[in-house]
Each structure stands twice: as structure tokens, then as C-alpha cells.
């Protein structure tokens, strides 16, 4: 092996390792500093790198990044899609390789047009934002989530998770630049001053921590985590047993204002469920207790196959009326792209719930227990702008999920961390109800107030507060940060070095 070939192999390997480090900064590992280490290593590897080499190294970084962070999709495909280990592994690898293309494009643009710190940071946030909507979006693994338990979390209400991601990337690249500028004291000192400004602002209490205020009396909430096995959930013969399990676990609901069951807790349609649950509904109504549960809904639709369509929904069964239909569906889990070509190939493409349709935008809030509740189903809570827009008129957030699909992987902990960031960004209490964990009541500061451990059948009772007012991020969204990123992209472009590379790296 020549020296050049050895150098290339090392750079490829280090790129993969750098990408794999980033998800370790997030839950459940929470080594928050590794996000910055990952970025710094990638930034260093791109020094004197051709655009072609940059694209390859970016793709390798993406392989490590998504391979380490979202390989839990293997569990869904293998355990619940009945795909063989080999086939599930191949599909997971294809999924990771496809997502990694985004990093290849990002780094190609950097090495082709910028080659400076400003452009690197701006492109990173631009591509995190693109991942929130491109091809329906996959807004997962944002670096800013790793700061949710640090003092820097106070900046989340100002610019959301993307502002925290910008801090991680900017800090990492500035530290690399600082090391390079050690022989230039003035520049090195300037870098240290910039790095210290956020901490000085925090230390001097210059960043408000309470943008919203509580109103009214505390709301008593009961969350039921029934831990129903996924293999039994959609079996018609199990319907009565499943509903009775939820009824039995809800016996103390007369002591609370709001009772919440998780995503598709009721594996049947409303009319059947309401009849079977009528004794509980009567009991709840007599005690002024509201019940919100996940349930599939069916609608007549002449344009849909067989004249009807289905939605993944949240519905009020007691203490009010109203429902919410999910607006962001999980590809292959709730709908099948290229359905005519893929249906029937393997069980994974025929999973229960894989025929859902999108709910309408701008649906009304749920009104229950005197609260205006902004509802979100499953990974909808991962969309910062969706949550922001729907929560503007709310005083409480609610998210339900069924993370059973992901087994004992890192996904449930990642999902909970994302929900915590949404509470922090909007300054509202958030109720999280899941089938098998991790259920929690989350404060406006993003802290877990009450929780149920994962993989347990249990009931959680606690208090939340209605909140009024708006955080800056909730009011303005990502627009101010988009303007900043646009300016940085322009400045980075006009200040980019013009000298050509003397040799190609790949």
C-alpha cells in the first residue's frame, strides 16, 4: 500500500469514526461534548481537500453519523416486519447510505464554494433545516439536542434547537482555528473571547429563563402506560383484553382532571370503542375527567381506494369532544412510498397502520379539562416548526407515541430528548404518553418532572400547569436564524479563498 493510498484510507476511516461520535452526544449516552469533537474532526479532515474528496468524506461521515444514530430501524424491519437478519441489515444499510448523501452534498458545497469557517457553519445549519422538510423530512439527530441538560439550554427559547446546533458547530470550528492561530496571539485571544460570550451572558443572567407564565390552578394528569406487546396489539381477538387492561389501569382516574392513553391505544374505530368503553366514559363524565386516547379513524372518501381513508388520530372520549389527525407520517411505517410496487414483497411493507392518510393542516386544538391542548402523534414532535405553529394558541402540549416498534434501542431515549426540547422551545408543559415508555411530564424548562421507566406496565399521576405567553422562537420561528444563515453564506462565499488546490486528495 502506497503512502497516498494509506492516507486516503485513514481519512475515510476517521470520517466514519467522526460521524459515529456525534450521536453519542445525544440520549441515551449524553456525552454532550462529543458533538463538538465530531464536528472538529470533520472540519480538520477537510483541510486542503478537493470537492470530489470532500463529497466522499462527507458521505463517509454520514455513514458513521446515521449508522450510529438511527440503525434502530433494523429492529422494526427485523422483529416486526419479519425480515431475515440479512435482509433487514441490507435495508438498514440502504437507508443509512441514502441519508448520508445529504452530508456528501453539504461537504461538496463547502469544499467547492467556501473552505472557510463561516461557510462550514452556515451550511451545517442549512442542511439540518433541509432535513426537517425534504422528502417529508427526517428531523432527527440535530446536534443541539445534546445541550438540553447544559446551561446553554437557555438559548433554545430564542432560536430553537437550530440555534444550539449552531453553537456546537461554531464552537468546534473556532477551537480548531484557535489551535492553528496559537502563534498569532491577537487572533487567538479574539477567538477565546467569542467562545466565552455565551457563558458570560449566562453567568450575568442576561438571558431570561422564563418567557411564559403559569395561569390558573394546576391540572392533575394520569398517563397510562399499558406495555401491550406489538405482536398482540392488532389481533382482533385481543381487542377486548387490551381495552380491559386500559380500563383496569385507569381505576383512579376520578382523582385527576385529564386521563391520557397513548398512540393507537385503542386498536379499533371510534364507534366500536365507544360502545365497549361506555361504562368507563360514563364514570369519567360523572367525575369531570377528560379522556384523550390514540385511535385509528376512518372517513368516507370517494377518491380513496375502496371509498375510504384512514388516519392515525387522537380523540376525546370524555370531558369534551374533538379529534386530531396526524399530519406527518412515518415512511413505510404508516404509509408505503411506491405502494403498488412494494406491497406484498415482505411483511415489512404490510405492517398494521401502513395505510394511513395525512391529516389536514391547521386543525383546531383539543379542548379538555379547561385547557387548549396542542396535540402531536409519534415523531411529529420531532418537527420544530410544526410544533411551534400548532402551539401558538395553546397552553399545554401533548404527544403520544408507540415506541414499541424500536425495542430496546436508543430510539425511545432520543425521542424523549426531542420532546424535552419542544417543551423548552415553547415554554410549555408537555405530557408524553407512550405504550411502553418513556412516558413523562416535562416542564417548560425541558426538565422531566414525573416519568415511568420503559418496558413497564404502570400509571403516572402528576401535575402540569397551563402556560401563557410566547417565547421568541415560538413567535418568530426559524426566520431570524434563516436570515443570519443567509448572510453568513453570502459573507462566506465572498471571503472564500481563491487559490486552487495544488493536488487532489482522492
Let me know: does 334 contact 353? Beta carbons within 8 Å: yes
Let me know: does 298 contact 310? Beta carbons within 8 Å: yes
Let me know: does 456 contact 437? Beta carbons within 8 Å: yes
Has 183 been annotated as catalytic? Answer: no
Q: Is the dihedral of CA 84, 90, 93, 99 positive or negative?
A: negative
Q: Can you name the residues that pair with 292 across neighbouring β-strands?
A: 260, 316
Exposure b/e, 175-184, CB count within 10 A at least 16 = b: bbbbeebeee
Q: Which residue has the cell 493536488?
A: 503
User: Catalytic: which of 49, 60, 121, 263?
Assistant: 263
Q: HEC states along 455-482?
A: CCCEEEEEEEEEEECCCHHHHHCCHHHH
Which of 19, 17, 10, 12 is closest to 100 using CA atoms? 19
Cis peptide before 52 (omega within 30 of 0): no
Identify the H or E element spanning 9: helix 3-21
Q: HEC states along 91-146?
A: HHHHHHHHHHHHHHHHHHHHHHHHCCHHHHHHHHHHHHHHCCCHHHCCCCCCHHHH
Q: Give the chain's length.
A: 506
**Reading across the β-sheet that carries 396-401, which strands appear in turn?**
366-368, 371-377, 396-401, 430-434, 440-442, 448-451
Which distant-in-sequence residues (6+ apart) come within 8 Å of 205 by Cβ? none
Query: Residue 259 CA to chain centroid, in angstroms?
Result: 25
> What's the farthest any 2 CA atoms get from each other in the chain?
81
Has 326 been annotated as catalytic? Answer: yes
**What whole-number distance in Å separates Cα of residue 11 and Cα of residue 9?**
5
Which distant-in-sequence residues (6+ apart) come within 8 Å of 51 by Cβ? 108, 111, 112
Has 263 been annotated as catalytic? Answer: yes
CA angle 89, 92, 98 (to 5 degrees): 140
**What whole-number distance in Å separates Cα of residue 224 and Cα of residue 204?**
42
Q: Can you name the residues that pair with 376 across neighbouring β-strands?
A: 399
Q: Which residue has the cell 405567553?
A: 469
Residue 458 CB coordination number (10 Å) = 15
User: Catalytic: which of 121, 326, 334, 505?
Assistant: 326
User: Catalytic: which of 121, 378, 380, 425?
Assistant: 378
Active site residues: 263, 326, 378
Amino acid at each position: 500500500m502506497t503512502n497516498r493510498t494509506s492516507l486516503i484510507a485513514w481519512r475515510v476511516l476517521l470520517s466514519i469514526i467522526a460521524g459515529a461520535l456525534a450521536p453519542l452526544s445525544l440520549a441515551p449516552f449524553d456525552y454532550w461534548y462529543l458533538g463538538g469533537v465530531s464536528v472538529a474532526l470533520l472540519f480538520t479532515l477537510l483541510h486542503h481537500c478537493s470537492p470530489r474528496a470532500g463529497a466522499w468524506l462527507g458521505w463517509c461521515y454520514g455513514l458513521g453519523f446515521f449508522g450510529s444514530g438511527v440503525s434502530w430501524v433494523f429492529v422494526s424491519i427485523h422483529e416486526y416486519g419479519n425480515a431475515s437478519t440479512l435482509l433487514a441489515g441490507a435495508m438498514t444499510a440502504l437507508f443509512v447510505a441514502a441519508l448520508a448523501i445529504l452530508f456528501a452534498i453539504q461537504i461538496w458545497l463547502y469544499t467547492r464554494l467556501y473552505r472557510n469557517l463561516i461557510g462550514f457553519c452556515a451550511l451545517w445549519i442549512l442542511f439540518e433545516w433541509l432535513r426537517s422538510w425534504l422528502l417529508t423530512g427526517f428531523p432527527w439527530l440535530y446536534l443541539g439536542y445534546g445541550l438540553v441538560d447544559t446551561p446553554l439550554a437557555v438559548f433554545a427559547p430564542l432560536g430553537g434547537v437550530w440555534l444550539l446546533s449552531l453553537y456546537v458547530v461554531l464552537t468546534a470550528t473556532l477551537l480548531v482555528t484557535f489551535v492553528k492561530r496559537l502563534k498569532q496571539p491577537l487572533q487567538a485571544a479574539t477567538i477565546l473571547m467569542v467562545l466565552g460570550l455565551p457563558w458570560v451572558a449566562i453567568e450575568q443572567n442576561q438571558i431570561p429563563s422564563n418567557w411564559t407564565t403559569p395561569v390558573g390552578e394546576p391540572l392533575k394528569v394520569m398517563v397510562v402506560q399499558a406495555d401491550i406487546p406489538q405482536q398482540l396489539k392488532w389481533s382482533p381477538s385481543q381487542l377486548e383484553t387490551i381495552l380491559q387492561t386500559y380500563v383496569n389501569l385507569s381505576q383512579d382516574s376520578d382523582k385527576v382532571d385529564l386521563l391520557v392513553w397513548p398512540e393507537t391505544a385503542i386498536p379499533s374505530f371510534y364507534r366500536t370503542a365507544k360502545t365497549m368503553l361506555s361504562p368507563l366514559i360514563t364514570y369519567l363524565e360523572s367525575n369531570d375527567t377528560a379522556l384523550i386516547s390514540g385511535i385509528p379513524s376512518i372517513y368516507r372518501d370517494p377518491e380513496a381506494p375502496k371509498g375510504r381513508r384512514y388516519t392515525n388520530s387522537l380523540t376525546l372520549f370524555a370531558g369534551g369532544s374533538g379529534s386530531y389527525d396526524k399530519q406527518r407520517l412515518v415512511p413505510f411505517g404508516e404509509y408505503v412510498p411506491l405502494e403498488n410496487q412494494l406491497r406484498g414483497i415482505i411483511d415489512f411493507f404490510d405492517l398494521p397502520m401502513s395505510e394511513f392518510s395525512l391529516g389536514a393542516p391547521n386543525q383546531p386544538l383539543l379542548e379538555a379539562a379547561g385547557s387548549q391542548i396542542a396535540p402531536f402523534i409519534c415523531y411529529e414532535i420531532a418537527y420544530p416548526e410544526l410544533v411551534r405553529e400548532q402551539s401558538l394558541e395553546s397552553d399545554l402540549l401533548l404527544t403520544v407515541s408507540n415506541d414499541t416498534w424500536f425495542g430496546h434501542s436508543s430510539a425511545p431515549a432520543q425521542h424523549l430528548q426531542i420532546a424535552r426540547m419542544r417543551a423548552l422551545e415553547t415554554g410549555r408543559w408537555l405530557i408524553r404518553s407512550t405504550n411502553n415508555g418513556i412516558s413523562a411530564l416535562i416542564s417548560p424548562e425541558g426538565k422531566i418532572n414525573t416519568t415511568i421507566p420503559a418496558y413497564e406496565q404502570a400509571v403516572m399521576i402528576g401535575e402540569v400547569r397551563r402556560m401563557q405567553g410566547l417565547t421568541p422562537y415560538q413567535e418568530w420561528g426559524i426566520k431570524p436564524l434563516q436570515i443570519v444563515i443567509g448572510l453568513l453564506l453570502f459573507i462566506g462565499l465572498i471571503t472564500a479563498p481563491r487559490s486552487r488546490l495544488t493536488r487532489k486528495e482522492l
